[in-house]
Amino acid sequence: MSASNIPSYATPQPTAAPAKSTIETLTGIFFEPGETFEALRERPRFLVAALIILALTLLFTFVLFQRINFEQFMRAQIENSPRTEQMTPEQKEQAVRMQSGTVGKSIAYGAPVIVFAIIFAAGGALYLLGTMMMAGSISYKQAISVWVYASLPPAVLFTVANILVLFLKSADDIDPAQASGGLVKANPSILLGSGSSPVLAALLGSLDLFAFYGLFLAALGLRKVGRLSSGAAWTIAIGIWLLGVVLKVAWAAAFGRAM
């Protein structure tokens, strides 16, 4: 048989996922996350989803301070902080006046913008590094897309649930000291009393159903976008989650309150 008659067998190439519009991507992450992450590999995007998460955070903050007085909120934070235990009543009152003024309100609304920008950038970098260590294939833009879209559904459900509770509960029943972390507790920290250890609260608070939902989406996204095995994807997702738990516990130990 001559060389020209030898049949050639082309190596099958993975088919590209169908392109999705921004709206299809935003809705698909809830109902078809696997297909959505495959589309994000071909066309990574994250800006609109990131802005939605930020807008939801600001919306919850706005509704919260419509239901409870901002000065009352700041007073509770200061009174319950171990760092102010040695302060005199006059010093605490001065701190309340300073932090409940215009500057304090500006920080309360403006801080999430900076915090989320740092978290999204760092999260994408960690996913990129983790995927490279596991011999996967992913770009920084794809890594940020996985981080943001894995965060979107839990953020939507968490915010909607908390806003509903804010309107259903009487303002007198809302504890200002606990309100900043959300009123809906989907973790064992709900069993702790007000005087419990902040470190224990941070540890139990990490065992959260919303966080586990995000972990599932993160592992799925890393597997689809980074072309990783399921085990490698879960190793990266759980490893970074454990790093977050350590940071939360360290924060609670250093500042006397859970994040």
Write out the two tokens for 136.
């996967």
Identify the weakest region by mean pLDDT among 79-83, 123-127, 198-202.
79-83
Q: Where along the chain do its domains lie?
A: 20-255
Is 4 a residue whose pLDDT tops 70? no
CA distance 44 to 37: 9
Give the tens place of pLDDT for each residue, 59-70. Answer: 988 888 888 877
Residue 25 contacts residue 36 (beta carbons within 8 Å) = yes
Q: Is the pLDDT of residue 88 over 60?
A: yes
At 8 the pLDDT is: 46
Q: Of 116, 140, 128, whose CA–CA distance to 57 is shortest?
A: 116
pLDDT band at 11 (very low <50, low <70, confident <90, very high): very low
Q: Which pTM value belongs to this model?
A: 0.84
| 137-148 per-position pLDDT tens digit | 999 999 999 999
Q: Which of 6-20, 73-87, 243-257 has the highest mean pLDDT?
A: 243-257
C-alpha 178/C-alpha 75 separation (Å) is 12
185: which DSSP letter?
Answer: -
Classify residue 17 as left (phi > 0), alpha (psi -120 to 50) or beta: beta
Residue 179 has pLDDT above 90, yes or no: no
CA-based max dimension of the chain: 99
CA dihedral (211, 212, 217, 219) positive or negative:
positive
- pLDDT digits over 201-245, tens only? 888 888 999 999 999 999 999 999 999 999 999 999 999 999 999
pLDDT at 3 over 60: no
Q: To which residue do tokens 């319950």 refer?
A: 80
Of 55-59, 76-80, 100-104, 170-174, which one has max mean pLDDT?
A: 55-59
Whole-number average pLDDT of the chain: 84
Give pLDDT, residue 167. 84
Tens digit of each residue's pLDDT (9 = 90 or more) over 150-172:
999 999 999 999 989 888 887 77
Residue in the block written with tokens 């980074």: 226
Using CB atoms within 10 A of its CB, is residue 92 exposed (0-12), middle (13-18) or buried (19+)? middle
pLDDT of 131: 96
Contact status, residue 204 vs residue 189, Cβ threshold 8 Å: yes
177 pLDDT band, cuts 50/70/90, is low
Q: Distance between CA 259 and CA 255 in Å, rounded? A: 9
Structure tokens at 85: 């235990």
